[in-house]
Structure 1
Amino acid sequence: MPRINLAVVALTICGAALLALFVLGRGAQGNENLFFACPKVNEAVALEKADETDAKLTYEIVDTVRVKSAVNLEARQVGTNHFYQEIMGYAMTTGSFFTLNAQQEKRKVAVLNERLAFEAFGSFDIVGMQISLKDESYVILGVIEDNQEESAVYVPSILTKTSVANFIEVMATEEAALANLKSLGVSEDRFYLANLGEFAKVIKAKFALAWWLIALVVSSFLSVQGVKVIRKSVPKVKRLAKDEYLREVIKSREVRRIMLVAMAVLTAISIGIYALLQAAQILLYWSQYANGLAGIATLAFGGKISVLQKLALYSNSALAFFMGGVGIGIIGAFRPKQNL
C-alpha cells in the first residue's frame, strides 16, 4: 500500500484554514469603536437628547408595515436617526439619507433599500416619488445598499418614553460609551453593552494566532532536530580529542558544525518562546472578549450582530481545522519511515 504523504495533507488543510481565517477576519472589519447596546428586557427608554451628545449614536425601532405604492408589499420599517447610514457604512445607490433637520422637523421622508425599491418600482431612480406607510405619505429621498435579503424602509424617528430600541454608538472606550448611555437616561443594568470593535479584533486575531502557532511548531521541530545533530556529533569530537591536540579539535569540521547548530537551536528556541508569548497574549485577549455577544439574539442593524456571531463560529471551526492540520503534520514529521 502506498505511503500517505502526511506533509501534503497537513499543508493542504493548514493552507485552506489560513485562507478561511484571513477571509473571515476581513469580513469582521468595519466595527472599530462601535458599541452595541441591547435591552435585557422589553423596557422603554428615553433618548430625546440622542442627537445632542458629542458621541455618534444611532438606533433601530423595527416594525412591519404595509408599503403602498405601485405594488403593495410588506417590509421592515426601521425608525432611526441621521447617523445610521454613516455608522453602518452603507452606500447610497441613489439619492441621499435623511438629515438631522429632517429628523428634528419630523418630515415624512423615507429611504428604501434596493430590494424594496426594485420590488415596488422596478427601478432605483425613484428619488422624489412617494410611498404610503400606515396610511401616511412619505417622500423617497434615496435608495440604500444595505445588503439585506428582506425589504426595508428607513424613516426618521425620535425616541420617546414609549420606544424600545437597540443602539450602536461610536466612542473611543467602553467607559465612555457607558457614560454616554447613562447621560441619556439608559441605566447600565438594563442593557447588554458589547464592544463590537474588540469582538471583531478577536475574530481577526485568530489568523495571527495560527501563524504564531506555526512559528512555535517549526521552531520546536528545528530545536529537536538540532539537538539530535549535536548528540550525534559529540562522540566524534570526543574521539578526535583523544588523537589530536585541542587546537586541531577546535578547528575541526565537527566542532564548527556543533557550534553552528547550537546557534541555530538557540535562535529557534528564542523564536519559539516569543511565538509562545504572542500566542498566549492572543488567547488571553480572546478569553476576555470571546463571549461578548453571547446570549444576544437580535436582528437589529441589518443583522450585524448575528453576522459577527456567525463569523466567530466559522473562525473557530477554521482554527480547529488548522490545529488538526498541524497535528497531522507533527505526526508525519516524527512517525517511523515505513510503508503503511
Structure 2
Amino acid sequence: MYIVLVGPPGKCRKGTAMNQGMYFLREMGIKLAAESITREALIRELKNSNNSQINIATGDMYLHASLTIYSQELTVFLGYNNQALMADLTDWFDCRDSWTYRTKNMGTDEIIGVWVNLIGATTPDLLQTTLPRDAIGSGLTSRIIFVYEHNKGKVVPAPFLSREERELREFLRIDLERISMLTGEFTVSDSFIDAYVPWYSKYSEGAVPFDDHRFSGYFERRPTHLLKLSMICNASRTSDMKITDIDFHKALSILQMTEKNMPYTFSGVGKSSTADVMQRVLTILAVNKKVEFAYLMSQFYQDVDKLTLEKMLETLLSMGCIEVDYSEGRRMIIYKGIRNNAMSENRTKEE
C-alpha cells in the first residue's frame, strides 16, 4: 500500500506520527529504502531485497522482492517532476510477478515478486510543486491513500511514554512478529462475499465518496484499496488469513474516516491563479474556526489585494464553507467546513 500523510507544515506533527512506525519497522528488520535515492539505486535495492518463503499449507516455495519506502519528506524522495520514478512506483503498486528493467549499457534486471510499500509525509504546497499537474488524479496519485489533517489531534506537553504505553508498545511488537511470520495467500469467507459483492455492485453504479475530479483515478481503485486494507485488518485480528465481513466493515470504516478530509489534499491545485492562496485561506480557517477579516488580510497581503481576498471569501460563502458575522462589531469569518452533499449521501448508502 502507498500511504501519504498530508498537512500544513508544523501543524500536524506528521514526522512524530511516523516515528512511532519507524520503531517497529526497525524492530522487525523490515528492509527500508534510503530516504534520498536515485531511481537506479532504488531499483538495485529492490532487486537485492530478493527473498524466498515457503507456504506452510502447501509446501510451495515462492520468491519475492519486498521493500518499504519510508520518507518523512516525500518530495525529497520523489524529487521534482521525476516522472520516471513515479512511473516505476505506479507499476510496482500491482505487485507484479515479474518486473523488467533494461538499460542501454548495464543490460537487463529482472525482479521477481515485486512488493513495495510506501509511507510518506508532505504538505499541500510541496505536493503541488513536486507533482506535474497532469499527474494529479491519475497514475501514481490514484494509487495513494492520502491522509489529510488540518491540525494535530491533541497537545502532548510531555512527549514521553508512560509505563502503560511502553507495555502496549511491547504487546504491539510481539503481535507484529506474529504477523510477520504469516505466509501463503489470503482467502475469503462466505460472509465477506455476502458483504463485499452488494457493496461493489452499488459502488460500480457511481456511488463515489465525494465529488472531486482530481480523485477520479482514486475512485476507480478504491475497491483495490479496500481489499488490501481488509487483509491488513484480518492480519491484525487473527492468524487464519481468511477475510470475513468483520474485516470488510472495519476496512470500510477506516477508509471512510480517511476520506472525510481527503479532498483537502489537492485543494491548492487548480488552473486559477489564486488556487494555492485559497487553499492556505481554507487551512487557516479550518484550524482557527473563527478569524477576523483583518487578520486574514495581514496573512496574505503579499499574495493578494483586498478585492481579491474578498472575492475569494465570496466564493467560499457561496459554497457554504463559511459564514460572515458582524455581531461583535468586527467582520468575523466563521468556518463551516467543505460542503459535499454527495459525500454524506453516498456514505449513507454504503452503510
TM bucket, shorter chain: under 0.3
| TM-score where L is the length of structure 1 | 0.20
Q: Which has the larger radius of gyration?
A: 1
| TM-score where L is the length of structure 2 | 0.20
